[in-house]
Amino acid sequence: MARQPAGGPATLPQAPARPLVIQLEEVTKTYGSGEAAVHALRGVSLEVAARDYVAIMGASGSGKSTLMNIIGCLDVPTTGRFFIDGIDSGALDESQLAVVRNRKIGFVFQSFNLIPRMSALANVALPLAYAGVGQAERRRRAEAALALVGMESRMGHKPSELSGGQQQRAAVARALVTAPSLILADEPTGNLDTRSSHDVMDVFDRLNAAGRTIVVITHEGDVAAHAKRAIRVSDGQIVDDRRMADPDGYPPLWRQGEPA
């Protein structure tokens, strides 16, 4: 059931000082109007604190993609309010939303969505270019991010020269290069084989262990098993919200020192 935004019976043992990265208040989203209206979200309230690792699960058509678009500031709620890092997304215009997407959110998509003509390094450096970071600094940070996902040896390769797992790791590097408040992954293993999926999820575990807030949208149980908290969405509403590990602790499947 949807939890109340402020206060409420805390199923989460969180310290009051811990900032909320995501806060949804009775968010609805309706496409179309009149009889043809589709209610993708029917009043979702959700809070995600910093350092948490949340899996949002649901069948196709459950509204989880709409939820992801709203959390990712790609779309705005029809009613209700959405705060990212305490900023009300409804109060922002298109250019401010672009800045929020750039600074606060790192996207990882199912189909990788790297730009085909550009090398892995250039792809990773792109968000920094839009953030106005200087060229030398950009290169340094992009290289560091690629090293973090184990891609240091393939930085000059174009996406077409990389395997699916490598492309997705480059996409993860692009998501974290701006040091965002939230890494938002939409079915990150949907197009990957078991082994590559494992690699990518290990990278997420490691990033969360290092203090990153992560939200993964998935329909696979073994992907959700990596998270500290699993939320199930059905028919536009949250139907289940399960805590699986301490939000301040390490991710459940992460083993310290394990090579990614």
Partner 1 sequence: MSPWEVLSFAAAGLAANKVRSALTTLGILIGVGSVILLVAVGNGSSQAVQASLQGLGTNTLTVLHTGAGGFGPAASRSSNQAPKDLTLADAKALLAGSGVKSVSPVVSTSETLTYQGASHTVSSFTGTYPSYFEASNSPIRKGTYFTNSDVLNARKIMVIGATTATDLFGSASPIGQKVYVGGVPFTVTGVLKKKGSSGLQNADDTAIAPLSAIEESLTGYGTLNNIVVQAASPAVVNTVQSEITSILNKRHGVTSANADFQVLNQATLLSATSSTSHTFTVLLGAVAAISLLVGGIGITNIMLVTVTERTREIGIRKAIGAPRGAILGQFLAEATLLSVIGGALGVLAGLIGSRFTIVGVKPVVVPSSILLAFAVSVAIGLFFGGFPASRAAGMRPVEALRYE
The single residue among 9, 15, 33, 94 that binds partner 1, judged by CB under 8 A, is 94
The smaller minimum CB distance to partner 1, of residues 111 and 163, is found at 111
In the set 28, 30, 113, 234, which binds partner 1 (CB under 8 A)?
113
Phi, psi of 190 (to 5 degrees): -60, -30
Q: Which among 141, 138, 167 is positioned nearest to 154, based on CA atoms?
A: 167
31 binds partner 1 (CB under 8 A): no
Kindly give the pairing relationship between strand 87-88 and strand 229-234. Answer: unpaired
Only one of the segments 94-102, 187-195, 220-228, 234-242 lies at the binding site for partner 1 (rule: CB under 8 A); that segment is 94-102
Q: Is 174 in the site for partner 1 (CB under 8 A)?
A: yes
Which strand ranges, in their side-by-side order, compose the sheet holding 20-31?
38-49, 20-31, 79-84, 87-88
Longest dimension (CA), the chain: 56
Nearer to partner 1, 107 or 204 (CB): 107
For tokens 């550009």, name the residue.
118
- 28 part of the interface to partner 1, by CB under 8 A: no
The residue range among 56-64, 103-111, 187-195, 244-252 that interacts with partner 1, by the rule CB under 8 A, is 103-111
Which is nearest to 71 in space by CA: 58, 84, 62, 60?
84
Q: Interface with partner 1 by CB under 8 A: which range of 48-56, 72-80, 154-162, 216-224?
A: 72-80
Of 130 and 152, CB closest to partner 1: 130
Contact 69, 107 (CB under 8 A): no
Provide the strand spans (E) within the chain. Answer: 20-31, 38-49, 53-57, 79-84, 87-88, 105-108, 182-186, 213-218, 229-234, 237-243
Establish if 82 lies at the interface with partner 1 (CB under 8 A). Answer: no
Interface stretch with partner 1, choices 130-138, 153-161, 205-213, 218-226 (CB under 8 A)? 130-138
Candidate list 25, 52, 75, 199; residue touching partner 1; CB under 8 A: 75
CA distance 247 to 241: 14
74 binds partner 1 (CB under 8 A): yes
User: What residues make contact with partner 1 under the rule CB under 8 A?
Assistant: 69, 72, 74-75, 94-95, 98-103, 107, 109, 113-118, 126-127, 129-132, 135, 174, 178
